[in-house]
Amino acid sequence: MIRVLIAEDHQSVVDGVKLALNNEPDLCLVGSVTDGVQLLEQTAILTPDVVITDIRMPNMSGVEATREIAKRFPNIPVIAFSMFDNPEVFAQMKQAGAKGYLLKIASLATLVDAIRVVAAGDYFFDPLLMKSALPNPELMLSPRERDIVRCIGQGKSSQEIADTLFISKETVNTHRKNILKKIQEYGMSDLVRFAMELNLET
């Protein structure tokens, strides 16, 4: 079970996230707070598997809270969930230690995917932000995504990739969807070609 703590001062957002997580057998919302100070306190008490935080909050911003969580609880990944699509804010959150950044215009299904990905130890950044911040597709891929592209280039199935990387088939499929979004390609042959272009097939 992946236990999630959220910092968000709009109750409607919290309710939406809670509803989405309740529909997933492997996810659970263990608490919600409305500012950065409370987030640090509850992170220490609840020790969640994943933290989701807004950026603009009372008392302590999401950037400051993320920096403190990364320092005090380095094994707890943080996902920024914000309306800010400014590359500078995105860069600040990455520098603070965020493992994910998702715009609030994203679907709750995408948020669920992001939670699973960061809980597995990888990164998940909104493709819209990555497009503006990192125009080179190769740079847009996290190390785990590059591993998966390499395996695809070798002709491995999702199950074979899962066995090779010691992750679940579901996690592999989540990564594949995210890779496809990032490189703006929609066919498997295109993804294999992309792997070959990056010399990741060997």
Quote the pLDDT of residue 76.
98
Q: Is 99 in contact with 123 (CB distance < 8 Å)?
A: yes
> What's the predicted TM-score (pTM) here?
0.67
Residue scoring higher pLDDT (46 or 177): 46
* Mean pLDDT within 68-96: 92
Quote the pLDDT of residue 119.
95
Q: Is 30 in contact with 5 (CB distance < 8 Å)?
A: yes
**Contacting residues for 51 by C-beta, under 8 A, at least 6 apart:** 4, 5, 6, 7, 39, 43, 69, 76, 77, 78, 79
Q: Which of 55-69, 81-95, 102-116 has the lowest mean pLDDT?
A: 81-95
Model confidence pLDDT, tens digit, residues 115-149: 999 999 988 888 777 555 544 545 467 888 888 88
> What strands, in cross-sheet order, belong to the sheet with 27-33?
27-33, 2-7, 50-53, 78-82, 100-103, 124-125
For residue 201, how many C-alpha atoms fall within 13 Å in the half-sphere facing its CB?
Answer: 12
Quote the pLDDT of residue 194.
56
d(C-alpha 32, C-alpha 34), whole Å: 7
* pLDDT score of 61 more than 70: yes
Q: Is 2 in contact with 52 (CB distance < 8 Å)?
A: no
Per DSSP, 185 falls in state -
d(C-alpha 164, C-alpha 156), whole Å: 9
For the record, the structure tokens of 99 come out as: 């493992």
Model confidence pLDDT, tens digit, residues 181-193: 766 543 444 555 5
Domains of the chain with bracketed CATH:
2-133 (3.40.50.2300), 137-197 (1.10.10.10)
53 phi/psi in degrees, rounded to 5: -135, 140
